Amino acid sequence: MSMHEHEEMDMALPPRGDTPYDAPSAHQLIEAVKLFISEELDGEISQTQKWKLRIASNALGIASREIQNIAEDRKAFKDFLGDLNMDSEKELSDALRNGEFDSKLEDIHTKLTQLVHRKLVVANPSYSISENDSPA
């Protein structure tokens, strides 16, 4: 490649973001391994191995989404407990069981739903959108 060609191309690398490390990031590396498992290995292996690799790929998917979402979700989690004047999940669990929230069940239900939705987006994003499959 000559210097002339460089001038006509956008040489700027994708931003690395606020990180002390080089790229690719943990998220990008996991995504690459995930792709390797689901596409490159796919044709070369048995049904049983495919099943096992699908489980491995799912695990990587969770890790990858967690890395992307954890900063925001950690904040939401802290705000959730703060709004309810609770120091920990343990304290909230005990209070719920003792009936301390019985008069505010609607509110706590709404807040828990928002929080669980965040967990599900990381753990299994396709789960909550299959509406025909909704529970009782």
Partner 1 sequence: MGNTDHFLTSHLIEALYEPIGEITITDLVRLTGGANRETWSFDAVDANGNTTELILQLDRDGLDRLVGTCAREARLLKKAAEWNVPVATVVTSSEIPNPLGRSFTVTHRIRGETIARKILRDNEWGNARSVFLSDCASALAAIHAIPKEELEGAELIETTDSLLSLTGIYDALCDPHPTFDLAIRWLEANRPEPLESCLIHGDFRLGNLLIGEDGLRAVLDWEIAHFGDPAEDLGWMCVRAWRFGGKGKVAGMGTYEDLLDGYEETSGTRIPLETLLWWEIFGTLRWGVICLQMGGDFRAGRTSSIEIATIGRRVAENEYDLLSALKERIHEHA
**Contact positions vs partner 1 (CB under 8 A):** 48, 52, 55-56, 58-59, 62, 88-90, 92-94, 96-97, 99, 101-102, 105-106, 108-109, 112-113, 116-117, 119-120, 122-124, 127-128, 130, 132-136
Q: What is the CB-side half-sphere exposure of residue 34 using CA atoms within 13 A?
A: 16
Q: Which is nearer to partner 1, 23 or 59 (CB)?
A: 59
Q: Would you give the DSSP letter of residue 39?
A: I
Nearer to partner 1 (CB atom), residue 29 or residue 62: 62
**By C-beta, is 31 or 73 nearer to partner 1?**
73
Q: Indicate the residue type of 39.
A: E
Least CB distance to partner 1 at residue 44 (A): 20
Question: Measured from the CB of residue 36, what is the shortest distance to partner 1 in angstroms?
Answer: 16
Give CA–CA dist 37/31, Å, rounded: 10
Separation between Cα atoms, residue 17 and residue 71, nearest integer Å: 14
Comparison of 30 and 122: residue with beta carbon closer to partner 1: 122
Short-list 76, 107, 81, CA closest to 92: 81
